[in-house]
Amino acid sequence: MSKFEEKTVASKEIFSGKIINVSVDDVVLPNGQLAKRELVKHPGAVAVIALTAEQKVVVVNQFRKPLEKEIIEIPAGKLEPGEHHSVTALRELEEETGYTTDKLDYICSFYTSPGFADELLYIYFTDQLKPLEESRALDEDEFVQVLELSLEELEQLQNDQRVHDAKTVYAIQFLKLRQG
């Protein structure tokens, strides 16, 4: 046991939903004191940084209820049980953008908010897009507008807080570094 580890002595699930589960855990701190931890369990997600042949970034504009506004994001979605993140990446790219690819490169993964959630986000990259022959197949509760924007346009949208999520900010930095 690490000198900073917290030992769980009780756990109570308070919500079980379609996307997340929430529990409250009683823990013993390294100094022996008791504390409560509110935890969000999430199956993980995947996002794709997708570039067209014209070097435009494929993004989606969608309303995000927790923010009560629309934001522009790189395509992303939740892992399904037992699904490898590379399969999720291709599925989400196709569903949300109408593009597919034969080449997805894994870039990295990171925890989105480790202070309270266990969501692990996998990031992929492709610059070899092909339009799907059939129309995209959004989930029944998804309403998105596909945009193809230059890196400069995305940076301006970030300054305007229309791009305002970690995965898309990461994508902008990744693409800037890739340009050299």
**Chain segment 97-108, per-residue pLDDT in tens:** 999 999 999 999
Q: Give yes or no: 38 in active site.
A: no
Q: State the span(s) of the chain assigned CATH 3.90.79.10.
A: 45-179
Report the pLDDT averaged over residues 143-157: 95
pLDDT of residue 143: 85
The residue count for the chain: 180
Spell out the CATH class of 45-179. Answer: alpha beta
Rg (CA), the chain: 19
The model's pLDDT over 53-67, given as tens digits with 9 standing for 90+, comes to 999 999 999 999 999
pLDDT of residue 2: 80
The pair of structure tokens assigned to 96 is 């949300």
The model's pLDDT over 70-124, given as tens digits with 9 standing for 90+, comes to 999 999 999 999 999 999 999 999 999 999 999 999 999 999 999 999 999 999 9
One-letter amino acid for residue 63 of the chain: F
pLDDT of residue 142: 72
- Catalytic hit among 54, 140, 142, 148: 140
